[in-house]
Amino acid sequence: MLIGLISDTHDHIPNTEKAVQLFKDRKVDLVIHCGDFCSPFMIPLFEGLHLEAIFGNNDGDKYLLMNKCAEIEADLEGEFFELQADDRLLAVYHGTYAELTEALHHCGKYDAVISGHTHETVQKKVGKTLAINPGTANGFDGKATIAFLETSDMSVEFVNL
């Protein structure tokens, strides 16, 4: 399964549109947004993609974010969710609390833990768990990134927007 990973869009429409086009061009099976859309007007940009998302610490009107997700048949999972893909168990958490992110990395339950929040790309092994952070699609400090995860072999590719 090819999964598009995006996080911390922080209302940046042009970069989000670039990311969505890349996801469509690569024909991803799923897009995971790791939180911090910020405003509900960002959600419709993902229409036409299979989107599963979580809240970040800067997401504003959560009720309206949930409604906008429902309008495009996307799933807004709260602050955490698990996903089974190609016999791999993935955890998705924004990363607001570093201690919780680290606990997820070290617990040994997950094949991968996908998070955002820090605005920095991460790909590292912690025991058997692959820790992934796609960075920030907003491009704070001039570097906007997304990632692709191929669950069949757990390969990760980072892409600059």
Tell me: pLDDT of 50 over 90: yes
Q: Where are the domains of the chain?
A: 2-160
CA dihedral 36, 38, 41, 46 (to 10 degrees): 0
Q: Which tens digits make up the pLDDT trace of 99-149?
A: 999 999 999 999 999 999 999 999 999 999 999 999 999 998 789 999 999
Superfamily of the domain at 2-160: Metallo-dependent phosphatases (3.60.21.10)
Look over the chain and give the mean of its residue pLDDT values, rounded to a whole number: 97
Query: Quick one: what percent of the chain has pLDDT higher than 90?
Result: 98
Structure tokens at 39: 């405003």
Tell me: pLDDT of 11 over 90: yes
Q: pTM for the complete prediction?
A: 0.97
What is the structure's pLDDT at 141? 79
What is the structure's pLDDT at 2? 98
Mean pLDDT calculated for residue range 37-54: 98
Which has the closest alpha carbon to 3: 152, 153, 149, 156? 149
What is the structure's pLDDT at 142? 84
Tell me: pLDDT of 64 over 90: yes
Residues contacting 121, CB < 8 A, separation 6+: 133, 134, 135, 145, 147, 158
What is the structure's pLDDT at 115? 98
Under a CB-based contact definition with an 8 Å cutoff, are residues 37 and 43 in contact? yes
Q: Is the model more confident about 30 or about 142?
A: 30
Mean pLDDT calculated for residue range 2-15: 98
Query: Quick one: what percent of the chain has pLDDT higher than 70?
Result: 100
